[in-house]
Structure 1
Amino acid sequence: MIEQSGNSVDPTTFDVGKHQVDDAVVLTVSGEVDMLSAPQLAEAVRAALAETPPALVIDLTKVDFLASAGMTVLVTAQAEVAPPTRFAVVANGPATSRPIKLMGLDNVLALYSTLDSALSRIAEG
């Protein structure tokens, strides 16, 4: 029997992709956001904000697990965003929106269930 190693994608692998949608910078996060990966997310947020984009959206729809360290990064990002930059978080499902709502962070963060809804709200200014 031949074992394959290194070829399969580990579902817990953390990744942050960055792309532009109109005026918004979108950070697409996938995998698990925990105390080991949260600093990488924080650095991606800092790097994106350093460019002073009109809008920054953090898309968590591909996140399998969101620990308190990840939620701290989101709240810190919200605090670091300076006008005129607008900020939104996309979270949908039990792994992301549920813990955010349980912690009451939906009262602090601009939370959307889809990227399209976040982008259209941000476009309104």
Structure 2
Amino acid sequence: MEEQREAAAGATSAADSTNCEINERWVDRNVVVSVSGVVDMLTAPQLEQAIRAGLAKEPAGLVVDFSAVEFLASAGMGILVAIHDEITSDVKFCVVAEGPATSRPLKLLGIADIIPLYASVDEALAALSA
């Protein structure tokens, strides 16, 4: 019984160590969903929910900002592809990803070929406004 409690406590602390914070802000008619921490199979549903909540407000553009993401798993990348496939042509969509934890996997898997990547939120917003 004691071993089970210790195992459960270990699982809880492991889950707690997977931090992911998501914030939404608006710049003109563009929604910026900023993510920090780890995007994996445990936190990807939070990301999807935040993106869908922003899209429900009918923005002209959507920027997913991964600048502060330390680890991006396939679950998070799958969310981006699903959103890309579902989004209407009325909404421009791009991702901010710079560095080996984010832009590298997006480029290696070919996601950067279908969703534009930018190095900063300012660059992404400028591209959406163009």
Same fold, judged at TM 0.5 (above) = yes
Deviations 1:14-49 (A, max 9, x none): 011000112210000000000000011011111111
Q: In terms of Rg, which structure is larger?
A: 2
Deviation, 1:83, is 2.7
The residue number in structure 2 matching 1:85 is: 91
Partner-residue secondary structure (3-state), 1:39: helix
In structure 2, the CA distance between the partners of 1:54 and 1:69, relative to structure 1 (3 Å rule), is same
TM-score (normalised: structure 2)? 0.84
Instruction: Tell me, yes or no, if structure 1 residue 75 matches structure 2 residue 81.
Output: yes
- CA distance in structure 2 between the partners assigned to 1:106 and 1:19 by the alignment: 23
What's the TM-score once normalised by structure 1's chain length?
A: 0.87
Q: Which of 119, 123, 126 pairs up with 1:113?
A: 119
Which residue is equivalent to 1:13?
19
Provide the aligned length of Structure 1 versus Structure 2: 115
Which amino acid letter does the alignment assign opposite residue 28 of structure 2?
A: D
Q: Mind listing any 5+ residue stretches in structure 1 that lack a counterpart?
A: 1-9
- Asked if the contact 1:11–1:31 (Cα under 8 Å) also holds between the matched residues in 2, the reply is no
Give RMSD over aligned pairs. Answer: 1.3
Q: Percent identity?
A: 49
**Structure 2 match to 1:5:** none
Higher helix share: 2
Distance 1:112 1:11, change over 3 A: farther
